[in-house]
Structure 1
Amino acid sequence: MDWSKAKTILIVAFIITNILLVYVIMGENHISNEPTIKDEFIEDVIKLLKDKNITVSTQIPKDIPHLNAMTVEYENVNIQELNRNYFNNNGIIEQDGEDLAKIVKDDESILVINDRFIIYENKREREIYKDLDKDKAIQLSEEFISKGQFQASDMKLTFIKEDKGIFYLEYSKIYGDILVERTFTNFQIDKRGIKKFERLWLNEKDFGEVEIYISTAPKSILTLLGMQEAYGKTLADISLCYYFDPEKHDYLGEPKDAKQGKAVPAWRIQFDDGYKIFIDEY
């Protein structure tokens, strides 16, 4: 057993219990008087996080979080359609069993894994966009999405940064105004244009009738106190999302075989470097 980690978890649990006890004593035990969304509790949370060098640079939501469960399924990818949309049917398709397919055309390639995960790579050396900036990178990503005939109405740009001449963009799925995780459409763009594109997408199927409540955001982010990967980071966004993790459902042995499952409410914690943590405590 990792006694150091176990000790940290026990300390975090003790802190949460004691803070909650104070505010339960101070207020009525009613949803409108929820102690963990009071300003005093939130201030204590921010101080505790600061002790672990975790900075909060965004508003911490004060609502009582709940959503109906959502059934989601992976977007199915057709290798023939990708060849037509991106290479005008001029790419060479290579099939390696049922799980792997690849299209190659000159210095470009598209790899498709399990009929759902797309990886496009461009290895051309010629620079086309000498004055590449943030706006141009976004434009190029949108044009690439349109060229592949992917639906853009359920996509939202949630992260962009530039590092050594490469723009990194991440689009997240949205349903209404709620983000759906874990799914992504990511780009790497430099002066050559689209350098790399990765997409693993989920589509909604139906919804459960019962609302699922989870812990409030201030209480949930106390979990970060026991996560060393969060130490030294700046918390840039906290938002309620639908969260699907096949490893937590019926596909523990072979999560790659999951085709659909239940997405539940969770807190999506995003740091300023793009790193994300999901907390779905009840």
Structure 2
Amino acid sequence: MDWSKAKTILIVAFLITNILLGVVLFLSGRQVETATKEGFIEDVTKLLNNKNILIDTEISREIPSLNTLIVEYEILDLYEINKNYFNGEGKIESADQGSKGIIYNNEYVLIENKKKLTYENNNEEEKYTNLNEEQAKTIALEFLQDKNYDTSDMLLYYAKEQDNSYRLEFSKIYNSRYVERANTIVEVDKRGVKKLERIWLKALDEGETPIYISTAPKAVLSLLSMEEVYGKTIKDISLCYYFDPIEQDYLKEYKNPKKGKANPAWRVLFDDGYKVIIDNYNR
């Protein structure tokens, strides 16, 4: 074997590889740079405005990435819920298939698939006067804590007052990032908490490799094809963790998943509380 010739071939091959890698990185860098330039963001804003989608927040210029997050649903135990809500004195009954109910006087809890909880209070006694948003938030959090929920990973992201009642929507937070879709919705009026809906996720572990997704200016362009958001105003655009159980096809119980991977996505919140999750990472 001619080692001198072989050595030359290897050197040339390494040079070609380095050149190609440099070209790819250069083009990638230019693409990211273009997507975060002020001119590009202005064009995106104009395109959205043409569909009557207004932006009342900053559009991030960061090159977004997050590690995956392993999450699992908060699994509800019927007897524990009965204890936490009614001191174990509620009457347990079957509802539809996969659902159980607990009745106690004029209060009712429905548990669906051991994951979703709905509480309703039909008492008529009024406990609060001159209710405002801050008081409604305090009432909601105290109610949750009284029912043995940990509220340290909850953040109020939307509140609306209508007919002397407040609708408060909380999201789960992990390391200052929203985790979708985990929500606790509380309705408060002069009686206190009149309704609660909750489906929650617990964070188990992080992946080791960061996943990169499209920049925010590029991501929000997908709103142009969503007629349901025409006429709305964007109040927040945040990088979040997003768990979509439909995509967890590796799970044995794919029809009733209990845990899986939450991947990075963009969370777009509108002025009426409507949310769009833009999940466009490269799988």
TM over 0.5: yes
- In structure 2, the residue matched to 1:186 is 185
- In structure 2, the residue matched to 1:5 is none
Q: Letter of the 2:277 partner, please give it.
A: F
**Large movers: runs of 4+ above 3 Å:** 95-98
- Normalised by the length of structure 2, the TM-score is 0.85
2: CA distance between counterparts of 1:158 and 1:89? 33
**Number of aligned pairs?**
256
- In structure 2, the residue matched to 1:130 is 129
Q: Letter of the 1:102 partner, please give it.
A: G
Superimposed CA distance per residue, residues 64-106 of structure 1 (whole angstroms, 9 cap, x where no aligned partner):
0100111110011112122112212221112458722111011
User: Is this contact kept in 1: 2:109–2:119, CA < 8 A?
Assistant: yes
Identity of aligned residues (%): 49
- In structure 2, the residue matched to 1:148 is 147
2: CA distance between counterparts of 1:81 and 1:116? 13
Query: Where in structure 2 are there 5+ consecutive unaligned residues?
Result: 1-25
1: CA distance between counterparts of 2:269 and 2:82? 35
The SS at the match of 2:136 is: helix
Q: Letter of the 1:257 partner, please give it.
A: N
Superimposed CA distance per residue, residues 185-230 of structure 1 (whole angstroms, 9 cap, x where no aligned partner):
1111111111100110001111221110000000000000111011
1:280 aligns with 2:279: yes
1: CA distance between counterparts of 2:196 and 2:28? 50
Q: Letter of the 1:59 partner, please give it.
A: E
- In structure 2, the residue matched to 1:81 is 80
Q: Letter of the 1:170 partner, please give it.
A: E
- In structure 2, the residue matched to 1:24 is none
- Normalised by the length of structure 1, the TM-score is 0.86
The SS at the match of 1:232 is: coil
User: Is this contact kept in 2: 1:75–1:202, CA < 8 A?
Assistant: yes
1: CA distance between counterparts of 2:124 and 2:264? 44
2: CA distance between counterparts of 1:223 and 1:33? 17
- In structure 1, the residue matched to 2:66 is 67
Superimposed CA distance per residue, residues 232-266 of structure 1 (whole angstroms, 9 cap, x where no aligned partner):
000000000000111233289x8660111111000
2: CA distance between counterparts of 1:245 and 1:164? 35
- In structure 2, the residue matched to 1:99 is 98
* Structure-2 change in CA distance of 1:42 and 1:124 (3 Å): same
1:58 aligns with 2:69: no
2: CA distance between counterparts of 1:203 and 1:57? 31
Of 49-58 and 75-84, deviating more is 75-84
User: Is this contact kept in 1: 2:153–2:173, CA < 8 A?
Assistant: yes
1:116 aligns with 2:95: no
2: CA distance between counterparts of 1:255 and 1:113? 17
2: CA distance between counterparts of 1:31 and 1:79? 55
2: CA distance between counterparts of 1:127 and 1:148? 20
- In structure 2, the residue matched to 1:169 is 168
Deviation at 1:48, TM superposition (A): 0.6
User: Is this contact kept in 2: 1:114–1:256, CA < 8 A?
Assistant: no
Of 242-251 and 141-150, deviating more is 242-251
2: CA distance between counterparts of 1:166 and 1:251? 43
The within-5 A match list for 1:209-248 is 209-248=208-247
- In structure 2, the residue matched to 1:11 is none
Radius of gyration: which is bigger? 2
| Cα RMSD after superposing both structures | 2.1
User: Is this contact kept in 1: 2:32–2:215, CA < 8 A?
Assistant: no
Q: Letter of the 2:226 partner, please give it.
A: M
Deviation at 1:59, TM superposition (A): 0.5
Q: Letter of the 1:261 partner, please give it.
A: G
Q: Letter of the 1:249 partner, please give it.
A: Q
Query: Where in structure 1 are there 5+ consecutive unaligned residues?
Result: 1-26
